[in-house]
Amino acid sequence: MNVDLSLKTLMAKASPARSGDFLAGLAAESQEERVRAQRRLADVTLAEILEEPLIAPEGDEVSRLILAQHDATSFASIRNWSVGEFRDWLLAADGEAIAALKWALTPEMVAAVSKIMRNQDLIAVARKRRVVTAFRTTVGLPGRLSVRIQPNHPTDDPKGVAASILDGLQFGCGDAVIGINPATDSPAAMRRLLELIEDLCQRLECPVQSCVLAHVTTALQCMERQAPVDLVFQSIAGSEKANASFGINLSMLREAHEAALALGRGTVGSNVMYFETGQGAALSADAHHGVDQQTMETRAYAVAREFDPLLVNTVVGFIGPEYLYDGKEIIRAGLEDHFCAKLLGVPMGVDVCYTNHAEADQNDMDTLLTLLGVAGCNFIMGVPGSDDIMLNYQSTSYHDAAYARETLELRAAPEFEAWAQGMGIFDAAGRLRGAGEDRSGELLGRSRLLELA
Amino acid sequence: MADNPLRPPVPAHPLRALRRFTDARIGLGRQGAGLPTAAHLDFAEAHARARDAVHAPFDAAGIAEVLQAQGIATLTVDSEAGDRATYLRRPDLGRRLASGSATTLQAGASGESCDLALIIADGLSAYAVNLYAADLAAAILRLVPQSWRVAPVVLASHARVALSDPVGAALGARIALMLIGERPGLSAADSLGAYLTFDPKPGRSDANRNCVSNIRSGGLTPELAAVKIAGLLKRSASLGLSGTALKDDEGLIEGEPASNPLLGRPPS
């Protein structure tokens, strides 16, 4: 190996193998070359990483943001640590000490240390570093696992969407958000869906937040027209060029953040943003600047944490096998994304998912879901029967959420839990009651969905 | 398989009544936290069908036979991907012609240009292509103007949509039309897409193409699709363009097939 490798090349070659880095021509050519790169990366100091931006700040606002966020004071005590020493420290440190480094750490430092960690390290360290946020519910507390109800419908049919929401609520899901990917991205369509959720939750007196995952500019138009917008959604990535391919920049996000804050709709907190990310997004937009896909993903978290989001999730297996080929690569990427986000103070959830052309199946998703439950993941998706009939991929189901909570003794967000206990969905200990005590009939009656049909 | 007196039939879940509003898998019931056995195996079967479609072998010889019986000549080409595993990992290779294949096309074109190059490609569901592509191609060729010069139908293995560009260019085609297997979903593994590119040449992007998707017996039927595609071909030829600039006044042009909300999903 050339001794004068740039940090960018060293990071790419040290990255655990995945198809996207091979597609980009950045991966190590042999297993041994990869480990040699990891050994060398372990000796690089955190100060050296700070001093060698992977994408020049002059041409990239995400790089400028990363430098502007960096706190030299809290960095002073760790600047001379090597990446290897940083790993050793993380394994032994407590959560509070790790959290104190939030603004000392840059995405590149966190990505670097993840590359020399095993899955077990990623789980053990992330589990210690809780990130708690709130709007109408409080998400991310220890011992809790929240769930987004994802009630998508190919034509945004209101009754079809409402039917999927009810099914989720009777499983005790929805405490992260009721979040719909709209088939049509327009202010009118977004408003219809927001009012549908608002109406349904008022009938049921259910304390949740809603989100229609339309473009940020659509949400801005909705807010101007006084639609009931709780959370503003946007897909984000780790370079200015990649964000431009999504039709956004930082100032648009800032404007939307301020507009949503001004609505003051949260009851227990004021985290009003919801972001999605995913490895491979920058490469697919030809906006990766020769940086490996896991490091590019971690840079997106600098964008996320700038706006104090309630929720962020990586959509880890959605992008397809040319970026993450099989279950093994998807599982690794899910754990990396969760770990890196938590170290940067981002409230990370994971869309544990796959497409039909990936070498993955339900068993791989069971494995990743269980690992993330152990790692203290903030939330997962709940899709009826795992089958998203609008986006045409498979994610975790309401059943999967119930499995994870039961098996790992995790509970819903406290505000939602109290509501679900009142409804008889959960027992006094916060556990989903037996199938024989299913409360669907009551929910259906109170929703008046059949009467309105 | 006899009725078990100890296990009375499970009553339908209260939310089953809402299935009339959505094809989503709601009201499945549960055993503990888990899926009841039948629902679990229903899902497994749908996924298995989709997986088999992705890895189904492309029956180029069978398709050629059907076409040749109707007097339609064929040529067979490969992308640079070479095998299925490489194809899935390297979409860039699936967009490029294997070196021997360029020679095949040059010989087939015999130096003349043409109005239309029709390409049948395996894509992500050779199963769909094996089922529908030969009949659909023949139907389209019956519907285009008789004055059009049409190149031999090209059968392309391990191909992505953008392989239309080098194929169309090598054949000197004014329009390239590719019929290709779409990524299988759980509710349909046999969906075919049709992509039209005016003046095909390497470097064209998706914005330069028009797509008709969800072609299958339970969706947009091949018979109806042939009429729509032929109409689109004629308009593209008379306007001299394709892509976002080719507006569709009959609701023929569909968006990205993987997330196409316009067609909806027919009842299964």
Is B31 an interface residue toward A (CB < 8 Å)?
A: yes
Tell me the Ramachandran region of residue B14: left when phi exceeds 0, alpha when psi lies from -120 to 50, beta otherwise: alpha
Residues A165 and A56 reside in one and the same domain: no
Q: Residue A98: which residues within 8 A CB-CB, separation 6 or more?
A: A90, A125, A128, A129, A343
Contact A432 B33 (CB under 8 A): yes
Size of interface A-B (CB pairs under 8 A): 149
Indicate whether B232 pLDDT > 90: yes
User: Burial of A166 by CB count in 10 Å (0-12 exposed, 13-18 middle, 19+ buried)?
Assistant: buried
C-alpha dihedral over A431, A436, A437, A443, to 10 degrees?
Answer: 110
Residues A71 and A139 reside in one and the same domain: no
Query: Which domain CATH number covers A321?
Result: 3.20.20.70
Give dist(CA B65, CA A213) in Å, integer: 48
Give dist(CA B24, CA B18) in Å, integer: 10
Nearest to A169 by CA among A391, A352, A441, A361: A441
Q: Residue B45: which residues within 8 A CB-CB, separation 6 or more?
A: none
Chain A interface test: which of B10, B13, B16, B22 (most A C-beta within 10 Å): B22
Residue of A nearest to B29 (CA): A435
Is B28 an interface residue toward A (CB < 8 Å)?
A: yes
pLDDT in tens, B56-68: 999 999 999 999 9
Structural domain contains residue A126: no
Residues A212 and A280 reside in one and the same domain: yes
CA distances from B151 to A260, B106, B154, B155, B227 (A): 58, 11, 8, 12, 20
To the nearest whole percent, how much of chain A has pLDDT over 90?
95
Mean pLDDT value of segment B145-171: 97
Task: Kindly indicate the confidence band of residue B266, based on its pLDDT and cuts at 50, 70 and 90.
Answer: very low
Structural domain contains residue A307: yes
Chain A CB contacts of B124 under 8 Å are 357
Residues A249 and A388 reside in one and the same domain: yes
Chain B CB contacts of A161 under 8 Å are 22
Indicate whether B198 pLDDT > 80: yes
In chain A, what's the furthest Cα-to-Cα distance? 73
Residues A244 and A295 reside in one and the same domain: yes
For tokens 């349909």, what's the residue?
B188
CA distances from B177 to A226, A394, B108, B193, B211 (A): 47, 31, 17, 10, 10
Chain B interface test: which of A186, A283, A440 (most B C-beta within 10 Å): A440
pLDDT at residue A77 in the model: 96
pLDDT at residue A5 in the model: 85
Give dist(CA A403, CA A401) in Å, integer: 5
pLDDT at residue B187 in the model: 87
Is A267 an interface residue toward B (CB < 8 Å)?
A: no
Contact B186 A387 (CB under 8 A): yes
Indicate whether B251 pLDDT > 60: no
Structural domain contains residue A451: no
Identify the domain boundary among A118, A145, A170: A118
pLDDT at residue B258 in the model: 33
β-sheet with B153-157: strand ranges across? B74-78, B153-157, B114-121, B173-181, B192-198, B209-215
Mean pLDDT value of segment B177-205: 94
Across all residues in chain B, what is the average pLDDT? 89
Query: Can you tell me the ipTM of this complex?
Result: 0.95
Query: Which residue range forms the structural domain that includes residue A18?
Result: 7-118
User: Burial of B30 by CB count in 10 Å (0-12 exposed, 13-18 middle, 19+ buried)?
Assistant: buried
pLDDT at residue B3 in the model: 55
Is A439 an interface residue toward B (CB < 8 Å)?
A: no
Domains, chain B, in order of start with CATH, read 54-257 (3.40.50.11240)
pLDDT at residue B8 in the model: 61
Question: In this structure, what token pair is assigned to residue A164?
Answer: 């999927």
Please list the ranges in chain A whose pLDDT falls under 70: 1-4, 452-453
Task: Kindly indicate the confidence band of residue B207, based on its pLDDT and cuts at 50, 70 and 90.
Answer: confident
pLDDT at residue B4 in the model: 61
Contact A389 B187 (CB under 8 A): yes
In the chain, the amino acid numbered A263 is L
Angle CA A120–A123–A127, to nearest 5: 145
Structural domain contains residue A123: no
pLDDT at residue B10 in the model: 66
Indicate whether B259 pLDDT > 70: no
Mean pLDDT value of segment B228-253: 81
Give dist(CA B43, CA A356) in Å, integer: 13
Query: Which domain CATH number covers A22?
Result: 1.10.220.70
pLDDT at residue B110 in the model: 76
User: Burial of A442 by CB count in 10 Å (0-12 exposed, 13-18 middle, 19+ buried)?
Assistant: middle
pLDDT at residue B225 in the model: 96
The answer to whether A138 touches A167, Cβ cutoff 8 Å, is no
